[in-house]
Amino acid sequence: MLEEAVEGGAPGKPTTSLDGTQADGSGNHGLIATLDRLTAAQASDPTVLGVSVAAQAAHLAYHMEVVARWENGERGPFDWKGSFTPGKVDETGWTQLQARVQAAYTGLLEVAQRPTDWDDEENGAAGGVAGALAHVIYHLGAVRQLVKLV
């Protein structure tokens, strides 16, 4: 489900929570594909809601980074308030932010794929990965709604 939320569905195969990607690859509504369709100006638009897609993307990257850091033993402090910056990006900044989202996802995926005792509440990564999945899906929905406003 994490892969589907971030990468989108596999072409022509059913999905669990997103619209299905068509056999030709069109219709991919995963996070990466959704961000890829936007220009820096669109991503920077604060919308009538006062938040931009760039800010949502920065926050998502930060959250995935923090979950991976937490699962690797780091306990903060973490700057959640600052995680929604930058809210405005130029083309270079947008490309860098998208790369950051991809790198953060790759790091989280490595945590999710690590052999672990998923029932170990103290040392297992189940809670962190499950929380990250819910968080990614929530913010993907928010991003998709913001895209309608830009």
Which residues fall within 8 angstroms of residue 31, CB to CB, at 6 or more apart? 5, 6, 7, 60, 101, 105, 136, 140, 143
Output the CA torsion sign for 123, 129, 130, 132.
positive
Report the C-alpha gap between 59 and 96 in whole angstroms: 14
pLDDT, the chain, mean: 90
Q: Which residue has the higher pLDDT, 131 or 117?
A: 131
Please indicate, yes or no, whether the overall pTM of this predicted structure exceeds 0.75.
yes
The whole-number pLDDT of residue 83 equals 97
Report the C-alpha gap between 26 and 90 in whole angstroms: 27
SS3 44: helix
| 80, pLDDT greater than 90 | yes
Mean pLDDT score, 24-35: 86
